[in-house]
Chains A and B, each alone.
Chain A
Amino acid sequence: EAGVVQSPRYKIIEKKQPVAFWCNPISGHNTLYWYRQNLGQGPELLIRYENEEAVDDSQLPKDRFSAERLKGVDSTLKIQPAELGDSAVYLCASSSYLRDRGTQTLLDEQYFGPGTRLTVT
């Protein structure tokens, strides 16, 4: 099966400019995540979608960041205006929730795209 697709792979912009990232998750995956990964750090969640609904956007800086997932498939993450501190890799991931009947434990294996490396100058 095709993996998670992201574009562009690299983006260089000047501060105060807008930028948008696009993600196409694995077919059939109803859950989509956007993460930001700073250099030398692990990914940090920005927003999580269940189908077209943003169910957790508590860590999304809403003054300049916005996201949408129209029709519950592709998603776009936008930054406007970009700041120097926004330079990072933006990762998209998707998953399909499974509930383990025996223990009622939620299982969640996430599939990541290659990311978009953003450089703000």
Chain B
Amino acid sequence: SQQGEEDPQALSIQEGENATMNCSYKTSINNLQWYRQNSGRGLVHLILIRSNEREKHSGRLRVTLDTSKKSSSLLITASRAADTASYFCATRGAGSYQLTFGKGTKLSVIP
């Protein structure tokens, strides 16, 4: 079963614009991770945020976590055509070793 639900399912923006993707989950977590998957490829880890953290940055990526709302957002600033991919959030439940992925947001960045 998949715990995370990304929103929107698909997003199309112009190069240079910012892209925001959201993730909601159902149960308490240890951490939440975002992964990117280019077409026909494996997943690449982008960023991890712990349950006691509220915001984290990595280059052009900004992740927020609101445990009271059980939600997270991924912001990609100044998007590039190379950012075109599917983005997945994955949660590690409290007391669990399992990583549970959502269905992903398909991002298209138009040059």
> Chain B's interface: helix, strand, loop or mixed, by majority?
strand
Task: Give the chain B neighbours of A108 by CB distance below 8 A.
Answer: 31, 33, 92, 97, 99
For residue B11, CB closer than 8 A to chain A, the reply is no
Complex interface bits, B81-102 against A, C-beta within 8 A gives 1, otherwise 0? 0000000101010000111111
| B98 lies within 8 A of A112 (CB) | no
For residue A42, CB closer than 8 A to chain B, the reply is yes
Q: Which of B40-48, B54-62, B71-79 contacts its partner?
A: B40-48
| A42 lies within 8 A of B104 (CB) | yes
Closest to B89 in A: A42
Task: Give the chain B neighbours of A40 by CB distance below 8 A.
Answer: 103-104
| B30 lies within 8 A of A106 (CB) | yes
Q: In the complex, what distance in Å separates the CA atom of A45 from the CA atom of B90?
A: 12
Q: In the complex, what distance in Å separates the CA atom of A40 from the CA atom of B37?
A: 12
A-B residue pairs in contact (CB < 8 Å), sample of 13: A41-B2, A42-B90, A42-B103, A43-B88, A45-B98, A45-B99, A91-B42, A105-B30, A105-B50, A106-B31, A107-B31, A108-B92, A112-B35
Which residues of B come within 8 Å of A, CB atoms? 2, 4, 30-31, 33, 35, 40-45, 48, 50-52, 88, 90, 92, 97-104
Which residues of A come within 8 Å of B, CB atoms? 4, 33, 40-45, 48, 55-56, 91, 93, 100, 103, 105-115, 117
